[in-house]
Amino acid sequence: MHTPSQIRARGRFLHAALDQVIEQRGWSTARRRAHQWRVLRSLVQHAHTHIPLYQKLFAEAGFTPAMLQDWEDISRLPILTKSHLRTATRADLIAQDNRDDIRWLASSGSTGTPASMARTEESLWHYMACNTALYYDWCHGTPLTHGLYLVDMAPDSIDFATADLLRTTVPDSRIFSVHDPVSKLTHELLGIAPEFISSYPSTLRAIALDLRAQNRVVKHTRLIHLTSEMLDAHTRHLLGQVFPNARLIETYTSTEGGLVAWQCMQGSRWHIAETNVLCEIVDDNGLPTTGLGHIVITDLTNTATPILRYRGLGDLARWEPEPCPCGSSARSIRHIEGRTAAMLRARDGSLISPYVITNAIEEVPGLAQYQVVQKQPGLFEVRVVADAGAPHNRVEMGITTALEAALGSVAGLQITFVSSIAAPPGSHKVPLVISELPLAA
């Protein structure tokens, strides 16, 4: 618990970050674009001069900062991958003479390969300020009472860092670890009766399954914020049953990029946080595409370990070219179509979006939880946890019928009933779709 003087000092950091975020929200498209260009060039020069990892990558690509003369030159910058971060030493990732207050963080490994990096305290305060401003938007300017925050309290996670900052405005009694037993989290949720919940989809899904097993419906929750993972249709449907009065809002965040995008309150599109990140959608060669492509980000808020043209998020999306009805001038993308690491492959080797699977079986009666695993092209194992009392043969028939209708004959199915589906070692997230195939398979 922080002392009053510590809270006041931390409050000044938050207010300064909020002032900056609020000012940036009023910028024109031209001013945002100028800001992106100015910061991009500064970060590239900083990386070239001070960061050993980039000195090596730039040399291998034959790139120098002088080559970055206009926006078309951005494709000359080498792509940064999660493997680059994962294999680099700390000395490779930060300037030798760094003077900033920093925190070393590790990604959650939701793409399968955790990676470390350093963030400045200033960038973390900015990240919190962005989320605070969005929260006020979601609440129409009037904060909800009795909030509940379910976060990853692993010491090297970005959630642990931001939970520490969150204590400036939120008491410890409202912040819980996603590593706690589901029964404990369910008990705390029922005791606090929160109007607002912030969580990962997989954590809240586990709680919702527990509540549904108890025939409990939570009517007092009005707003649920979900982040860091795909929210599939099955989980959305489940949360709608257990939290019938709650509006679901998502943000697209990562350790490497902070706040990348937020879901528009008037539709399914996602607005890019353009003063925080420079976002590209590129093809396999790193060139811009108007079709489905890889999300590549440059973090504009962090100088400790610069993140330049980073493809390690592993997500696919496409631009939404039409203006948004909400009036925002920020660029937007259509729904994120799944991680490249989770994309499935048909018998002929063609890619299948995980949404084809998750959307097809969301309404299967008796299906409590599932996970799709692919170990060879054209064959999917569906691991199933059935509702108590649900006949396995009927659940299996429902899944088979739904997936055969969605997939046709492009893949075979193997359905396995299990008692539970756990997160992989070292993670709190339970992936819905796992591909064990090499990406180039």
> pLDDT (tens digit, 9 = 90+) per residue, 20-72?
999 999 999 999 999 999 999 999 999 999 999 999 999 999 999 999 999 99
- Angstrom distance (rounded) from CA 73 to CA 51: 21
Q: In this predicted structure, what is the pLDDT of residue 126?
A: 95
Most confident range, picked from 106-110, 196-200, 345-349, 363-367: 196-200
- What phi-psi label fits residue 21: left (phi over 0), alpha (psi between -120 and 50 degrees) or beta? alpha
Residue 221's Cβ-side half-sphere holds a number of Cα atoms within 13 Å equal to 30
- Asked whether residue 112 is assigned to any structural domain, the reply reads no
- Asked whether residue 111 is assigned to any structural domain, the reply reads no
Q: In this predicted structure, what is the pLDDT of residue 441?
A: 36
Per-residue confidence at 431, pLDDT binned at 50, 70, 90?
Answer: confident
- Angstrom distance (rounded) from CA 35 to CA 276: 10
Q: Write down the pTM of the prediction.
A: 0.81
- Asked whether residue 256 is assigned to any structural domain, the reply reads no
Question: SS3 of 102, please?
Answer: strand
Lowest-pLDDT choice from 21-30, 185-194, 225-234: 225-234
- CA torsion, ordered 176, 180, 181, 186, to nearest 10 deg: 0
Other Cβ atoms closer than 10 A to 440? 4
CATH number, position 393: 3.30.300.30
- Asked whether residue 172 is assigned to any structural domain, the reply reads no
Average pLDDT in the chain: 88
Question: SS3 of 172, please?
Answer: helix
Using an 8 Å Cβ cutoff, are 293 and 281 in contact?
A: yes
- Asked whether residue 355 is assigned to any structural domain, the reply reads yes
- Asked whether residue 351 is assigned to any structural domain, the reply reads yes
Q: In this predicted structure, what is the pLDDT of residue 284?
A: 86
Could you report the per-residue pLDDT of 95-144, keeping only the tens digit for each?
Answer: 998 888 899 998 755 444 567 899 999 999 999 999 999 999 999 989 88
- Asked whether residue 394 is assigned to any structural domain, the reply reads yes
Distance of CA 164 to the CA centre of its chain: 20
DSSP state of 294: E
Domain hosting 412: range is 343-435
Question: SS3 of 35, please?
Answer: helix
Q: In this predicted structure, what is the pLDDT of residue 440?
A: 44
- Asked whether residue 272 is assigned to any structural domain, the reply reads no
Q: In this predicted structure, what is the pLDDT of residue 439?
A: 54
H helix or E strand, kind and range, residue 51:
none
User: Between 119 and 202, where is the model more confident?
Assistant: 119
Residue type, 253: T
- Sign of the Cα torsion 421, 424, 428, 431 reads negative
Could you report the per-residue pLDDT of 264-292, keeping only the tens digit for each?
Answer: 988 779 999 999 999 999 998 889 999 98
Could you report the per-residue pLDDT of 230-263, keeping only the tens digit for each?
Answer: 777 778 888 999 999 999 999 999 999 999 999 9
Q: In this predicted structure, what is the pLDDT of residue 111?
A: 45
| Mean pLDDT value across residues 71-98 | 93
Could you report the per-residue pLDDT of 375-430, keeping only the tens digit for each?
Answer: 888 898 999 988 888 899 999 999 999 888 888 888 889 999 998 888 776 566 67
Q: For residue 284, which of 114, 107, 75 has the smallest C-alpha distance?
A: 75
Number of structural domains the chain divides into: 1
